[in-house]
Structure 1
Amino acid sequence: MLPPGVTVFERGWLSANNILFTGGERTALVDSGYWTHEVQTVALVEGALGARPLDLLLSTHLHSDHCGGNAALQRRYPGVETRVPPGLARFVSAWDPVALTYQPTGQHCPRFRLDGLLVPGASVELGGTSWQVHSAPGHDPHSVILFEPVSRTLISADALWENGFGVVFQELEGERAFDEVGATLDLIEGLRPAVVIPGHGPVFADAVAALANARRRLDSFVRDPAKHAQHAAKVLLKFKLLELQQVPESDLLGWAGSTPYFGMVHARYFADRPAGEWVAGLVGELLRSGAAVREGGLLGNG
């Protein structure tokens, strides 16, 4: 299903999938996962490359689950060339964790070196083959996707999963971005991918069905933006649970209370309820769905 020389390391939902290219003269990795999984990320790459170096490291966008392993890979492979999309590149160079959204979301990404840009409209050689770089705003305004037109293989990042797409963070910030999600889905439909490597979940071939699922989900969010905001807040809570594995419930509630995105979402969509009550309700929904479990005073992953 995948082109020769392409290996996908399917990760859990805390880390984005890693796509390794070993064909051609230069090796490359697209997306490096979350920082708490960096040891495993390096081990996966080392195991596949053997004595070969990692030459190129690309980030489809700068969310912490996609570039959190960059610093560790740079330590392991000092000569690796690291490129990111241009939108937030200046904040990588200056390392601004607020502008990069790590501090507002209560997440972390170790500082890494920036060597170049992954520019939409250009192409990049991966595995000895030319891949198109396309702008894919929506989930992240600066995200890109990569497409190889001969095999019609798409690296879709969080623009398209088999059962949806990533949280639309601009909408949480009060900026209209659902239309950008729809435009990116239209772009993907026009590319007619035969194989899709998503940012999370397994590689899949039925892009038509995935696009239909994504459009239904998008329509439901457009009709009820508060539904999307509630979903996004639960995703952030679940992400923290995945990171910590087990945490006192009071600590998780305290973390949410001190994390700016929760305050912003509450003020914009749910101000008719006390903030603490709203966050406790989110935890309750995670428990009822099985996404979290309670053992004594501790919360863990479901």
Structure 2
Amino acid sequence: MKALPVVLPDNVHVFERGWLSSNNVLMLGRHEATLVDSGYLIHAPQTLDLVRHALKGRRLDRIVNTHLHSDHCGGNATLQAHYGSETLVPVSELDNVRHWDEDKLSFKATGQQCQRFSADGVLTPGDKLTMADMEWQVMGAPGHDAHSLLLYCPQEAILISADALWQNGFGVIFPELDGESGFIEERATLDLIASLDVRVVIPGHGAVFTDVAAALKRARTRLDFLSGNPVRNAEYAVKVLLKFLLLERQRMALADVPALFASLPIIQAASRRYLDKTPEETAEWTIKQLVRACSARVESGYLLNDG
């Protein structure tokens, strides 16, 4: 049976992006236009083109970030420079942005890029936000990221879930890599989503979907698997992080990967706490895993993106 098309209001536009960028959601109200999440830095020109085309001469008044991983806020600076857009970030990240604290923001820890941007205001769980002439509730969604938020519109039963829920899973539970709690929080976030009347989910990555119950079931099964042995979460994380960097660069000298891993705090923490390896040993293991999965290949001393 052919799946029914997902129906969104005419003034809600979803730009489904490929890796490395998150999806972007453009909300066109009568008096304001808002973009939820802005993709990765190297895709910023494409993000600007997508937004400019959809705005048809209008101004982008506001940027809203569900969380501040590089693939969700990497286009902020470009859009701010072009439109002067007001930008709202999770309340617990405001000082980190204003001081550009690279030890607290995630970019340095993961080796990913993000051009410095400004924050004009905050989103706090419990807030109500008007986007596309509809009221959206701001809800805390820790798990994947301690600061992450959900945006929920009861009027249309639409949920912007960011990386808390995808059609087939959720994002890496990063707090656990640093020895912080994340599995319990992710489970509570899934329970929160299950308690809402949701007709349509706009995830941070992948297609918009409507079968929320099935997605929640898959996510809970995945969470049980990862939390049952946290080493699995760490192994998944280092593979994701290397694949991300490889997607960005397309080729990396094999000899450079061990030093790269040794320089990244999040890899250092995962290697020490869960993998019982040095970062250099973790690099060797991760390369082998990507090659085995046909996600990368080795040629003439280089690791090349594949798959």
Higher mean C-alpha deviation, range 6-15 or range 286-295: 286-295
Match of 2:108 in 1: 103
Match of 2:149 in 1: 144
SS of 1:294's equivalent in the other structure is strand
Aligned equivalents of 1:161 and 1:98: distance in 2?
28
Match of 2:32 in 1: 26
Higher mean C-alpha deviation, range 111-120 or range 276-285: 276-285
Aligned residue identity for 2:287: V
Higher mean C-alpha deviation, range 243-252 or range 20-29: 243-252
Aligned residue identity for 1:231: Y
Per-residue Cα deviation, 1:42-87 (whole angstroms, up to 9, x for no partner): 1111111121000110000011110011000000102x11101101
Superposed displacement of residue 260, structure 1: 1.6
Tell me whether 1:81 sits opposite 2:86 in the alignment.
yes
Superposed displacement of residue 7, structure 1: 0.8
Per-residue Cα deviation, 1:153-179 (whole angstroms, up to 9, x for no partner): 110000000110111111001012211
Match of 2:132 in 1: 127
Per-residue Cα deviation, 1:196-233 (whole angstroms, up to 9, x for no partner): 00001111111111100000000011111001111011
Equivalent of residue 175 in structure 1, options 173, 180, 199: 180
Aligned residue identity for 2:145: D
Match of 2:18 in 1: 12
Match of 1:281 in 2: 285
Per-residue Cα deviation, 1:173-199 (whole angstroms, up to 9, x for no partner): 101221100000000011131110000
Equivalent of residue 272 in structure 2, options 247, 267, 270: 267
Aligned equivalents of 2:255 and 2:91: distance in 1?
40
- Percent identity of the aligned residues? 49
Tell me whether 1:61 sits opposite 2:67 in the alignment.
yes
Aligned residue identity for 2:112: Q
Superposed displacement of residue 299, structure 1: 1.9
Matches within 5 A, 1:150-169: 150-169=155-174
Aligned residue identity for 2:91: P
Higher mean C-alpha deviation, range 182-191 or range 22-31: 22-31
Equivalent of residue 236 in structure 1, options 236, 241, 248: 241
Aligned residue identity for 1:100: L
Match of 1:217 in 2: 222
Superposed displacement of residue 133, structure 1: 0.7
SS of 1:75's equivalent in the other structure is helix
Equivalent of residue 195 in structure 1, options 189, 194, 200: 200
Residue 154 of structure 2 contacts residue 197 of structure 2 at CA under 8 Å; is this kept in 1? no
Aligned equivalents of 2:278 and 2:188: distance in 1?
36
Aligned equivalents of 1:274 and 1:53: distance in 2?
50
Equivalent of residue 44 in structure 2, options 38, 47, 56: 38
Match of 2:294 in 1: 290
Aligned equivalents of 2:118 and 2:163: distance in 1?
23
Superposed displacement of residue 290, structure 1: 1.5
Match of 2:4 in 1: none
SS of 2:219's equivalent in the other structure is helix
Residue 4 of structure 1 contacts residue 23 of structure 1 at CA under 8 Å; is this kept in 2? no
Aligned equivalents of 1:219 and 1:286: distance in 2?
24
**For structure 2, which runs of at least 5 residues remain unmatched after alignment?**
1-6
SS of 1:88's equivalent in the other structure is helix
Aligned equivalents of 2:171 and 2:275: distance in 1?
21
Aligned equivalents of 1:25 and 1:274: distance in 2?
54
SS of 2:126's equivalent in the other structure is coil
Aligned equivalents of 1:296 and 1:162: distance in 2?
38
SS of 1:7's equivalent in the other structure is strand
Aligned equivalents of 1:93 and 1:86: distance in 2?
12
Superposed displacement of residue 235, structure 1: 0.7
Match of 1:118 in 2: 123
Aligned residue identity for 2:90: P
Aligned equivalents of 1:194 and 1:101: distance in 2?
32
Aligned equivalents of 1:58 and 1:275: distance in 2?
35
Match of 1:47 in 2: 53
Aligned residue identity for 2:105: L
* TM-score normalised by structure 2 residue count: 0.95
Superposed displacement of residue 274, structure 1: 4.5
Per-residue Cα deviation, 1:101-153 (whole angstroms, up to 9, x for no partner): 21111112111111111121011111111111111111111111101112111
Superposed displacement of residue 264, structure 1: 1.1
SS of 1:87's equivalent in the other structure is helix
